[in-house]
Structure 1
Amino acid sequence: MVTKKDQILDTSLQLFMKKGFDATSISDILSQLDIARGTLYYHFESKEAIMDAIIERLLNQVLEKIEKLMTNDSLSQAEKFMGFFASINLTQLTGDEEIVDYFNQPQNALFHEKSNRLLIKKLSPVLAQIISEGMESGLFDTPFPAETAELILVGITGFVDSKDSPADEDNMNHRMESFLYNAARMLGMSQSGLDGFKKLFLSK
C-alpha cells in the first residue's frame, strides 16, 4: 500500500524533474496531489525537506540492496566488492535514466550535491567493512580501510561523476580508468583485481 508520504515524494520528484526544483512550488505539489496544505506539512516542513527525503529514500534502496549482498555467503569478497559498486548505479536501481539525468542538470546542482554528501556519509562505513573483510582474505592491503573507503566514494562523486567532467565516451573511459588505477593502488589490489574492476566499469 502506497502511503500518503510516498505519494508526496513520488509526485514531488516528477514535478522536480519536469519543472526543476526551484521552479516547483508547494502549491504545484498540492494541486497535483489535490490535498490540503496541512496534510503536506504534517509530513514535511518544507520543499527542501521533501528533496532530502527523496534523496534519502533512493539511498536507502541502495543500502537495502547492499545489505542483501553483504549477507550472501555464496559470494566471494571480490564479488561483494564489485557488487557494492554495481548497487550504487542509480540507473540500474531505479530503471529510470531520467532521474539520473535530472541529478546531473546544472540547475539541479543543490540536489546533486546533497545526494553525493549523503551517499558518502551512508555508504563509507559499509565500504570500509567490505575492505576490512577483503584485507582478511588477502584481496586488499591497506592500513587505512575507513579513510580509503571515503576517498574512493569522494572520487566517484567528485571526480568521475563531476558535472565538469567531459561527456565524450572515450574521455569518460580515460577518466574512469585513471580513477580505477589509483583506487586499486590505494587498496593494494593485484593486477587481476584491477582488471576485474575495469571490466565492471569501463564501456566496451
Structure 2
Amino acid sequence: MNKNIKWHQTAVTKHDREQLNKHKGIVLWFTGLSGSGKSTIANALEKNLYDMLIHTYLLDGDNIRYGVNKNLGFSSKDRKENIRRIAEIRKLFVDAGIVVLVAAISPFKEDRDAARHIFDKEEFIEIYVKCSLEECEKRDPKGLYKKARTGEIKEFTGVTQPYEEPANPDIIVDTTKQNINQSVNLIMSFIEKRIKL
C-alpha cells in the first residue's frame, strides 16, 4: 500500500445505512460446480428477499466477467484474482447495508477463505450448492462440459481443473435431492436472524 494513501472516514457509516435500509448487510456466497444450480437458486432467493423489501444485489460469476473481470481468464492465477475482486466489490455492497448474493464456482478453498476473512464473522455465509459431477454433466445447461471433454475448453473446473469442496460451509443445498423452493426455504430459515436489526 502506498504510504501516501490514507483512509478517508465518511460521515455516514455502515450502521447508518443499515438503519435506513431496516436490515443488515450480509454476503451469501454460493459455491459449487458449473450446472449445480448456484445462479438459479441465488436468483430465486434474491426475488424472495426483494419481495420482503430487503435491499439486494446479485453478483453472478459469468456476468461479472462481462465488465470488471473481463480481462481475466481461467488459470489458477486468474481465478484467484477473479475471487479477490468479487470479494472486494461485495465488501462495498455490505458496507452499503445491502444483502449481496454471489454465485461463483470459486473452486479453491484458499480463495474462499480469503474472501471470508475480509468480513465480520456474522456477515459471510458460505452456501455449498452440492451436486455430483455426473449430474452436472448430465444437465450441462451451457454445453460447457461437452466442450471441456472434447478439449475445446482447456481450463474447466471438475474436468481439467479441481474443485475443492467446502469442508465446513454454513449451509449445504443438495440439488440432486432438493428443488429450488426447498433450497430457498432452507437458506431463508438460516439467514432471517442474520439480516434483522
TM-score scaled by structure 2?
Answer: 0.29
- The one of the two structures with greater contact order (alpha-carbon pairs below 8 A, sep at least 6) is 2
More helix by share: 1
TM-score scaled by structure 1?
Answer: 0.28
Structure showing greater Rg: 1
